[in-house]
Chain A
Amino acid sequence: MTTLQVMFFFFSLITVAGGLYTVIARNLFHAALGLIVSLAGVAALYALLEASFLAAAQVAIYIGAIAILIIFAVMLTRGVTGKNPVKDWWTYTITAIVCLLLLVVLLTTLFRFDWPQTAQAAVPADSIARLGKSLVDPSLYVLPFEVASVLLVAALIGSAYIARDKK
């Protein structure tokens, strides 16, 4: 068992434990904190893969922006203290069935996928520069790049409209 494998299992454990706590916690704020732990675990996994920019982007965007947004959204609800849990057994049953179906789909996909067995090429030293170049290269990703900006504007306009006080 190499050090890398040990680290991988450790961070996977953190990710899964964080995710588990997110769905089990009664208190919504604790659930948000569990989500943050899970996201941090994913960032550590990216770092293990030497995808340094992605790891930092994960922490900066998910933990530094989206988790804060989630916490703000959670504060808007009254159920944040966890004093009113769902008591309806029908809801629990439907949820369990849907989750089981999702589990079956994910497991079949995972086991049927052709995972590469040999070591991949090493990450090049100028990976971030290459990423930057591919974002604006006409034959590569420039169209998704510009469409992404339009998508962001659409998201901003939509959410701002929903959140606005209608006078």
Chain B
Amino acid sequence: MLQDFAFIGIFLLVAGALGVLPLVLAWMVRPAKPNPIKSSTYECGVETFGDAWVQFKVQYYVYALVFVVFDIETIFLFPWAVAYHQLPLFAVLEMVLFIFILAGALVYAWRKGDLEWV
């Protein structure tokens, strides 16, 4: 198994190198004539105003939050799924209970309007 992970580590390095290589190639080949107008921030063709800080809607945070809860649910789900064929019926029912409890959480968020895109 360690050999497989070594391969993945090497693949990460190779993928990074394959990403850097075109950039290096482009840096050697492309023109470079920056001027302040070209380098200014793009804002639909008008001059920028204000900081680059936007009013961050809390809705994005709620989506990420619900995702974290369901992601942790899948962490519990995957080992159970791997062992599924060796499990007796009540073990399946225990997982069904787990899923129902989390479905209840989803229904709560739904009814309270947390899942609406503002």
Q: Which residues of A contact B (CB under 8 A)?
A: 4, 44, 47-48, 50, 52-53, 55, 57, 60-61, 64-66, 68-69, 72-73, 75-76, 78, 80-81, 123, 128-133, 135-137, 142, 145-146, 148-150, 152-153, 155-157, 159-160, 163-165
Contacts and interface: CB of A to CB of B under 8 A. Distances in A.
Contact of B94 (A72, A146, A148, A150): A146
Interface stretch (B18-26, B32-40, B42-50, B74-82): B74-82
Task: Please indicate which of the listed interface residues A78, A130, A133 has the most CB atoms of chain B within 10 Å of its own CB.
Answer: A133
Nearest to A152: B69
A132 B83 contact: yes
Interface residues of B, number: 43
Interface in B53-88: 53, 56, 58, 60-62, 64-69, 71-73, 75-76, 78-84, 86-87
A44 B10 CA distance: 13
Contacts of B105: 152-153, 156-157
Contacts of A149: 73, 76, 97-98, 101-102
Given A65-B71, A149-B101, A159 B76 contact: no
A77 to B, nearest CB: 9
Given A50-B1, A133-B86, A148 B64 contact: no
B71 A61 contact: yes
Interface of B is mostly: helix
Contacts of B75: 57, 60-61
Nearest to B92: A136
Contacts, number: 129
B91 interface: yes
Contacts of B83: 128-133
Given A131-B83, A149-B102, 4 more contacts: A53-B79, A73-B61, A133-B87, A159-B62
A57 B73 CA distance: 11
Interface of B: 1-2, 5, 9, 53, 56, 58, 60-62, 64-69, 71-73, 75-76, 78-84, 86-87, 91, 94-95, 97-98, 101-102, 104-105, 108-109, 112, 114
A148 B73 CA distance: 9
Nearest to B61: A72
